[in-house]
Amino acid sequence: GEDVEQSLFLSVREGDSSVINCTYTDSSSTYLYWYKQEPGAGLQLLTYIFSNMDMKQDQRLTVLLNKKDKHLSLRIADTQTGDSAIYFCAERRPGYSTLTFGKGTMLLVSP
Amino acid sequence: EAGVTQSPTHLIKTRGQQATLRCSPISGHTSVYWYQQALGLGLQFLLWYDEGEERNRGNFPPRFSGRQFPNYSSELNVNALELEDSALYLCASSFGGEKLFFGSGTQLSVL
């Protein structure tokens, strides 16, 4: 497909794990990214993974990459109410210095 | 270290007017990217400047233009404003293109 695809909405309870999924477009994409956007703010780079890696862990965040299926996921352990935000997946396609973004997944964490 | 700064935070214009948005990159970053975030459309790539030159532009009409100054700051100009130009305009900076860091954006409202 031409677009980076993400589900629009995810609701979890505080303390649970959250998994946000993304399907990107180009199996040759060199870097895949996760950004977080809180209301009224810009995008914060959460983490990113190079295409030759399958997994990357950074504190509560775990990124899994399946290049064959062009599938990227972000797992947030012990989700907190402060994690409520919109999460964007992005890819850097070969030959491009710009990033292509999905439309974002709104994560709502309830107490 | 200061992050990417954008001004103004909010801008209200009427149809047909011109808007000028400004961006200061992180110190040491030579690339500036502009994205438009309109409701329901996700982030759309507008323009990429590097070392004072326009390197790439997205699928936007020529009335969207900009420039990058010798100090690497950048301006985005939107001429002949239309109602559908109402959006959050995000600037990002990078050194080498591996990671993009975003500012908080300028909310442009066209009445």
A47-73 confidence digits (pLDDT tens): 999 989 999 999 999 999 999 999 999
**pLDDT exceeds cutoff 70 at A1:** no
Is any Cβ of chain B less than 8 angstroms from the Cβ of A55? no
DSSP SS3 for B27 = coil
Q: Residues B27-43: pLDDT tens digits?
A: 999 999 999 999 877 89
Q: Is B56 in Cβ contact with A97 (below 8 Å)?
A: yes
Is there a contact between B97 and A101 if contact means CB atoms under 8 Å apart?
A: no
Give residue A8's region: left, alpha or beta (phi > 0; psi -120 to 50).
alpha
Q: Which residues of B touch A31 (CB under 8 A)?
A: 98
In the structure encoding, which two tokens stand for residue A3, read together?
């677009």
Q: Cα–Cα distance between B49 and B57 in angstroms, integer?
A: 9
Please tell me if residue B50 touches chain A, with a CB cutoff of 8 Å. yes
> What's the pLDDT at A96?
76
**Buried-exposed string A51-72: b where 16+ CB fall within 10 A, e elsewhere:** beeeeeeeeeebbbbebeebeb
Q: Return the closest-CA partner of residue B92 out of A86, A98, A101.
A: A98
